[in-house]
Amino acid sequence: MHHTESYNRHDEWYKTHFPSESAKTVFYERAIATGKNNVAFWLQKLFFNCIDPLLAKKKQRWLTIGDAYGFDAQYILSSGNSVLATDLNTDFLNIALKRGIIDACVAENAEKLTQEDNSFDFVLCKESYHHFPRPYAAMYEMIRVAKQGVIVIEPQDPVIKMPLLLMLSNLLNRNAHFLNKLWNNRFSFEPVGNFVYKVSEREFEKLAAGLGLPLIGFKKINPNYWFKGADLVSTKRYSKQFFFIRLKKFILDVLVRIKAMPSQVLATVIFKQLPDECTIALLKKNGYHLVHIPQNPYLD
């Protein structure tokens, strides 16, 4: 089956780029040596800031999905919450465990989690959902094992937010070849064979309404400025490179704010139960737009 082949190819990618335990260990040593005052860490912090409102309460139990290196779990641990790090392959995670970066890990297929229903307060899926062969299967599994909610932080599908492109797509629908040339990433596929599945607000609203879930939070961010060597560019003194990254990000942030452009990434919190007022206030302060899903009037 296609999804099985995809998983095998993912494994092959890791084995090709990090063939030995020593190669994986060097990867962690470099990450520790470069520290936090660099562009790579600064960009990752833009992602992690999205979960800060949910980390305010301590001693909650989290699950990370597709957390290949354990860095998502590391951030959650640093907040005083417990976390189980998971990925298809735990070769990296076991080294992270040995080095004290994480304190628990297990191999998991996101489409068929072995965890019990409602066994984690929150499930975090960061920059992995668009790699899944069957993302909807994984989404239902994450919702199943979460007690309070699921956080998905993924590239946003820009089409629904760009009326002109949507109109062109409708006008040129009969000429699919020309449309695909004009819109060259309409159907994007990874080398491992998966369709690159970008997300949208509307699809999550429909998902929540269909499952009878009460609330969704959306936050738009623009963190896609990574480049090879970003971990070596300091943010302590404003280098020319860092200055231009901040400038480009500032311009895009303004365009997103005035709704002239869609954001690069969408952070989505799908709540299984209504959070308390303190959490709602923290989400709003953090930049989240909350959408209350009305109850189905035809259900008791």
pLDDT at position 164:
54
Mean pLDDT of 95-102: 94
Q: Whole-number mean pLDDT of the chain?
A: 86
Mean pLDDT of 144-168: 79
* Local confidence band at 34 (pLDDT 50, 70, 90 cut-offs): confident
Contact 149, 89 (CB under 8 A): no
Q: Distance between CA atoms of 110 and 142, rounded to whole angstroms?
A: 8
| Cβ partners under 8 Å of residue 56, min gap 6 | 278, 279, 282
pLDDT at position 1:
47
Q: pLDDT tens for residues 240-287?
A: 899 999 999 999 999 999 988 899 999 999 999 999 999 999 999 999
Which DSSP helix (H) or strand (E) runs through 204? helix 201-211
pLDDT at position 178:
46
Higher pLDDT: 19 or 131? It is 131
| pLDDT at 171 exceeding the cut of 70 | no
pLDDT at position 170:
54
Predicted TM-score (pTM) of this structure? 0.87
